[in-house]
């Protein structure tokens, strides 16, 4: 495959993958968690210069990416990429202060509040 075809294939594949996550009415924010309120089950993060408050519902799904799940030697990249993401229960997610961790959130937005349907944590 020539360099141009390979690059075009990667771009098209990226569009398909990101399009699968982008659904009508679903809003996506990502950034470092700057405030953590486990009692009210909210946290804040900054995305593109704006601060968003993220709230959750009973049906919210929590995920820790394979990169975050692996605390061992990250130089073993091949092994790391083969690991699966880990689903967390609500209790597992809220039991630790996540301030400073990188999160990607999908949900609906009203003003500066995002009602999360899916929260994914990353090690970055």
Fold (CATH) for 25-122: OB fold (Dihydrolipoamide Acetyltransferase, E2P) (2.40.50)
Beta carbons of 92 and 110 less than 8 angstroms apart: no
pLDDT at 81 over 70: no
The rounded distance, in Å, linking the Cα atoms of 5 and 58 is: 45
Give percent of the chain with pLDDT exceeding 90: 57
Taking only the tens place, the pLDDT of each residue in 50-68 is: 999 999 999 999 998 865 4
């Amino acid at each position: 495959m020539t360099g141009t075809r390979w690059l075009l294939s990667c771009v098209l594949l990226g569009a398909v993958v990101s399009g699968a996550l982008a659904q009508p009415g679903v809003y996506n924010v990502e950034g470092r968690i700057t405030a953590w309120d486990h009692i009210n089950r909210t946290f804040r993060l900054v995305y593109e210069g704006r601060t968003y408050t993220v709230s959750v519902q009973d049906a919210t799904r929590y995920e820790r990416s394979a990169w975050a799940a692996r605390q061992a030697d990250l130089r073993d990249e091949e092994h790391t990429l083969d690991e699966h993401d880990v689903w967390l229960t609500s209790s597992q997610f809220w039991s630790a202060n996540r301030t400073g961790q990188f999160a990607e959130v999908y949900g609906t937005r009203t003003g500066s509040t995002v009602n999360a349907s899916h929260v994914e944590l990353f090690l970055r």
